[in-house]
Structures are given as structure tokens and as C-alpha cells.
Structure 1
Amino acid sequence: MRITGAVLEELGRPGPWARSRPLSVGELELEAPGPGEVLVQIAAAGVCHSDLSVVNGNRARPVPMLLGHEASGRVAALGSGVTDFAVGQQVVMTFLPRCGSCAGCATGGRMPCGPGSASNAAGELLGGGRRLAREGSPVHHHLGVSAFATHAVVDSRSVVAVDDDVPPDVAAVLGCAVLTGGGALLNAAPPQPGQSVMVVGLGGVGMAALLTAIALGSGDVVAVDGVGAKRDQAAELGATTVLDPAGLAPSGVRCDVVVEAAGNARAFEAALAATAPGGRTVTVGLPPPDALARVSPLLLVAEARTVIGSYLGSAVPSRDIPVFAQWWREGRLPVEALVSSRIALDDINRAMDELAAGTALRQIIEL
């Protein structure tokens, strides 16, 4: 079938991307779903830093690649052997499929799926190969999803069903921002009653972590970001303290659980320094591969502190997305607050500029 999608042509093209246009929007060919796969008509897709990190070259991926990994839509067709979903059912896309049988999958979310990670790196689906082409030449999949398009064929293990009462934009954000930021507190370092939580970096993932910390209601919640508008929004959402990064160290504020969601080595150092004795620092951001941070081993020992790396919030999507959806349903998790704007697919290059400037949380492409 013919679809319309946004294809990344080249890694590391200089910005502003609204001018250099590394992503081109046009027609592609999409194969029918194979065994164990589903065809999804995309309704909403979020623009995430993991997309930006491919555009700017920080995360090497094969090109041409149809980007996008955070989305929701409805099942349009089923491949053979798929019995867990029905045509017309609303689903959330997730960017790390789990095979369910490897050593990583046996950790309950702590480690990524090995085959899923390998297929993502190769630009293929979990079942192997590609279903996308342009003028007869293969186009790579992004993280098993490729959601910046009108339709996608994905492995059935890359989607989770959600009820129809969840709006498409909320459903989309559940699949990455909420799983990653919220999962860091739900799975990797759940705060105990009375413990304080700090979030360093208030992008879509960081703000989702903030919402989750408030929903858990364990203790004080501190929000740290260099953008004043984001600090103001954090305060409106319920953060007890908001700080500029420059004021974090002088403030002397230290918390029991600190989530670093900026994807920056200096932010990681600040998060580590702001972790209280006996506390846990959880890092979920993805800095450039050559980024290095300075760590004092003495402080880790003397203050009995723990550093935790958490990929996709240490989540099992089929387990955790229904939890977050229920919290949204109960009014505990106002995920709508993460949506900063709604855009068209043709606006994708400008959207990358806004994301890089730090002015956006989640820009939602309406398809």
C-alpha cells in the first residue's frame, strides 16, 4: 500500500533543520503485515529527543530511515498468527519490542531485550527485515515503529492495547515519555513513603517523571530546569520546589531519589551531587556516546549512594502502560500537560528545531 511518511535522508545535517530539511515528507510503499505483525493506522505521534538524537547524529542509525517511535493508532489489519489484537482496536506503539524469551526479558524490565535491541540497531522489525520501500529501495524502520507516517507495519510485540476512552495524544505519550520518565520511579527507584524526589531536566520525559512523583505522593518533589516556563509549569502541576540549575548547588537541596532526564553529562553530575546520603540517582537521559562525567567514588562509598541506569524506565510495556492509563483515568496522572503543541507532518523539521531549543515538551503530530 502507499503511505505518506517523514524519512531522514542524512545524519548530522546542520541546523536550523527547518532550512536544511534532513527529513523529507513523501510517499512510500508499505508491505502487508507478515506473520506475527500488525498494520496500524497512526492517529498521533510524539516528537521525542530520541528522534532528535538521530537527526543530529548523536545516535548512529542506518539511513534512509522513517523516523518516529512514540505513537498511537488503530489496528487496520492482522498478519497470520496474531490473536491478541482485533481490527479497529486502539494500540500504543512502544520502541523496544520484547521477545519474551531472552536473558534481558527474564529480568522483568531491568535489562533491554537482546533481539529487540539488535533489530532496532539494524533498522529492522523484530521478526527480521524491512517492510518499507521508496521507489523500490528499502527504507529502514526506526526502533521497530516508524511512526511519522500515516500507517506502520510493526511486530505485534511492539504494540499494547488501550481502551477507547484514552485520547490518541495521551495514548501516544504513554508509549515513550511516560514509560521512560514514569517508569524510572515506578520500576527503577520507587520512592518509599516520605522520601523526596528531584527531577533534573523537564522535557517530555522529565515532566512525566515529575507527574509520576506527584502521583506517588511520597514526599517533597523538586523540579530543576534552565527554562523558566518549564519551572513555572512544574510548580503549577504540584512541584513543591523549582530551581534553576545554577541555583541547585547553592540551595543545598538534596533528595532521596533524583531522576536525571536531561541527557547531558553536566546534568548527570548535578543530579548525583543533589542526591542525599543513602539515596538513589536514576539516569534515563541519552547523552552523546562520547560524553563523560566526573564521579567521586569516595562519596558513593561514604554516603552509601546508588547510581541506576534505566532504559525505557525499566518497563515492561504490556505490564506498565495499563497502570499509567488507569492513573490517567483516575485523574492522578494528567498526561495532557505534556502536550505542548499539535502540528502537521509537514512541520517535522521545524519541530526538531523547537525540541533542540528546549522550548517544547511533546509536540504531537496529528495524522
Structure 2
Amino acid sequence: MEAAVLDQIGDDRLHVRADAAVVAPGPGEVHVRIRAAGICHSDLSAMNGTLPALAPGVMGHEGAGEVLAVGDQVTDLVPGDHVTITFVPPCGTCRECLHGQPHLCAVHTVAAFTSPRFEVGSQPVFGFAGCGTFAEELVLPRAGAIKVEPDVPFEVAALLGCGVLTGVGAVLNTARIEPGATVAVIGCGGVGISVVQGARLAGATTIVAVDPVVGKHAGARRFGATHTATPDGFDELKQELTGGAGFDCAIEVVGLAGTIRAAYDATRRGGSTVIVGAGGAEQKVEFTAQELFLNERRILPSFYGSADPRRDIDRMLRFWRAGLLDLEGMVSRRLPLSEINDGLAALQGGDAALVRQIVTFD
């Protein structure tokens, strides 16, 4: 089978290999044929070392497909079932799962760094984030395959695995934005657009989308932003819309020290600053003890939208079926696995027309 392999951390291209194979599913595991995989900025971050990953490794962590086989102890999935892949499978028994924080479960994440899921030639190869959706097939824990109804298009199901759940979840689960709120969203990529849609779903009446690429502004408005701005014009718009007081919630979806600080500065006293962007260890943000004390702005990190994929993937699909969440409209480009490097380059270059690119497997 074919798979897109990162040979070493720091490479800016993947090597599409035709001699890849998956390990057989063990007890409690599922073998899935991938039918659609989203290209996420986190894939680039893993390739350049910003996010932890192992090489050689099959990249990709956002995808959907159909079950080919199940291992022993899997009784609730059968071959032919359609599934969305989640890169944070909750074990259900660890401290975090038992405290209602399954998005922080590390059980299967740790296993992903010790258990190669593929073989390329005769070499063991890891799957990024325990997945490796840039491959025709993969094997993962049962909890990493969330069943969806067969009428859900694979590309729609794929988006739910990371970008949509991260963005909408940051609004509904982490920030818990209330109807009538004023919201600023810094960053208008695929996750940022999902945040915009989440803010609209939550009933925010002012949604400002901020991005230096002016070409992304029209798309942000199409998905629910009421206003748009570049970083240079953001302060002026904040003054106009809030009288300088700041927004009820500012959500950062970039992962840079400067944009995190900008989100904090855009938040009103007593409001919430939500950090969604996956930044590197070198991105250090400074606050004084006095401003933290006097402003009482809550700083809320949001990993994977504070989501429980077992609950929230179904919830996103119900929003989609009700016409409240535009998932098809987020698909900007479809491409075969052979063109994966073109897709990564377009994402790296900040192509204004892109919200989400989907690798299709026919």
C-alpha cells in the first residue's frame, strides 16, 4: 500500500512509498481503510519539530474511512462500518478520563511513541499522533475509531477528527461562550474558521476575525464573522466595537507569543483569553503579576477543543445535519496522496483560498 513517510524531523517533504504495510490489529484494535484525510497545520509543526513526532513516521492525523477488520475484544465495530479517526483516544479508566477530561488522556498517546504501526520495506515506522492518516490503511486502538452513519461523506467525517472538533470545541467546551457575547478570533486557517463557526453557533453577536492575509477575510465572513481586520487594524476596530474595553472572549489560533499576547490585550477585564494555537517551546509570553491580578482575565488553554470525541463528534454531525455547521464549504481542495507535498507547500505558503485540503483515496 501507499503511505507518505517523513524520513527525518526537519524535512519539508514527505516520501510517498508504495512498499508500506500495517501491523495486524491486536486485541482491542481496529484496521481501517482511509478514504479521506485532512491536511492540518499540525502536520507541518510535527515535520519541523515544533510538535513531538517520531521519524521515520507516516504523517497525518485527521481522517475517516471504513473498518476492514477488528482484533479480539472489539465487539461494537464490524467490517464495513464508517469511522472518524481521533488522535486522542480516551482509555476511559485513567485519572483524566475519570475526571471528565478525556482529551487529556495520555494512555494511547504514550503507546504511540513506543509502538510502530507500520512497516516500510523491512523497517518499523511510527504513525504521527498514533494515527498516520496519510496512508491507505492504518491500525489504531478501538477508542480511536468513532463510528459515524454511512450517509456522512468521508471528507466531512475526516474534518471532525481534528480541525472542527478543536475549533468548535474551544468555543463550546473551553470558553463556553454565551449568547450575545463579543468574540475576537486571531487566525483564519481551518481551525480558526471552525472557531468562527463555533462562535456563531453559540450565539455571539459580534465575531471579529483577524488575519494578516486579507484574502482570507471574505471567507471568514462567509462562515459567520461579522467583522474582519488585519493585525494592524485590530486595535482600531476593538476601540470602535467595544469602546476600548475589549471583547468578552479572544481566541488565539496561531501559536505565537505575539498573537497570544495580542489576544490577552484584546480581552476585556473579567473576560476569557483562549489559547488554541499549537506553539513551540521557544514561544514565551510575558505578563506582569499586577496585570494578571487587576484584570482578572482568564487564560484558558484549549487542547483538542476540550472535547470528548465519543460525545462531540456526534454533536458536530447533528449541527451539520441541522444546517448549523458548514463542513462541505470548508473543503477548499481535493488531491491524491501523490500530490501531498503540493498540499503541504500550499498550506505553508498561506494560500488565501484554502480552508482545508483533503487527500482522497479512491
> What TM-score, normalized by structure 2, do the two folds share?
0.94
Match for residue 31 of structure 1? Answer: 23
Q: Whole-Å Cα distance in 2 between the matches of residues 58 and 299 of structure 1?
A: 29
Match for residue 315 of structure 1? Answer: 307
**1:132 matched to 2:110:** no
Shift of 1:110: 6.9
- Determine if contact 1:72/1:169 at 8 Å carries over to the other structure: yes
Match for residue 279 of structure 1? Answer: 271
Match for residue 360 of structure 2? Answer: 366
Deviations 1:102-150 (A, max 9, x none): 1121232376112133224x1x4xxxx2331122210011111111011
- Determine if contact 1:260/1:283 at 8 Å carries over to the other structure: yes
Q: Whole-Å Cα distance in 2 between the matches of residues 282 and 238 of structure 1?
A: 19
Match for residue 227 of structure 2? Answer: 241
**1:143 matched to 2:147:** no
Quote the sequence identity (%): 39
Q: Whole-Å Cα distance in 1 between the matches of residues 2 and 102 of structure 2?
A: 36
Match for residue 175 of structure 2? Answer: 189
**Distance verdict in 2 for CA 1:277–1:49, change over 3 Å:** same
- Determine if contact 1:104/1:112 at 8 Å carries over to the other structure: yes
- Determine if contact 1:110/1:188 at 8 Å carries over to the other structure: no
Match for residue 10 of structure 2? Answer: 12
Query: Superposed, which structure 2 residues align to 1:67-78 within 5 Å?
Result: 67-78=59-70
Aligned residue for 1:41, secondary structure, equals strand
Deviations 1:207-262 (A, max 9, x none): 11111111222321111111112111111222111111111123335211111111
- Determine if contact 1:201/1:260 at 8 Å carries over to the other structure: yes
Shift of 1:48: 0.5
Match for residue 41 of structure 2? Answer: 49
**1:294 matched to 2:286:** yes
For 1:352, the aligned partner's letter is L
Which of 330, 333, 337 is the matching residue for 1:341?
Answer: 333
Shift of 1:364: 0.3
Shift of 1:356: 1.3
Q: Whole-Å Cα distance in 2 between the matches of residues 227 and 25 of structure 1?
A: 35
Q: Whole-Å Cα distance in 1 between the matches of residues 182 and 148 of structure 2?
A: 31
Q: Whole-Å Cα distance in 2 between the matches of residues 45 and 150 of structure 1?
A: 10
For 1:331, the aligned partner's letter is G
- Determine if contact 1:10/1:22 at 8 Å carries over to the other structure: no
CA RMSD of aligned residues (A): 1.5
Query: Superposed, which structure 2 residues align to 1:345-356 within 5 Å?
Result: 345-356=337-348
For 1:364, the aligned partner's letter is I
Aligned residue for 1:143, secondary structure, equals helix
**1:168 matched to 2:162:** no
Aligned residue for 1:180, secondary structure, equals helix
Q: Whole-Å Cα distance in 2 between the matches of residues 261 and 65 of structure 1?
A: 26
* Runs of 5+ consecutive residues of structure 1 not aligned to the other structure: none
> What TM-score, normalized by structure 1, do the two folds share?
0.92
**Distance verdict in 2 for CA 1:51–1:98, change over 3 Å:** same
Q: Whole-Å Cα distance in 2 between the matches of residues 297 and 361 of structure 1?
A: 38
**Distance verdict in 2 for CA 1:352–1:279, change over 3 Å:** same
| Number of residue pairs the alignment of both structures matches | 353
- Determine if contact 2:39/2:356 at 8 Å carries over to the other structure: yes
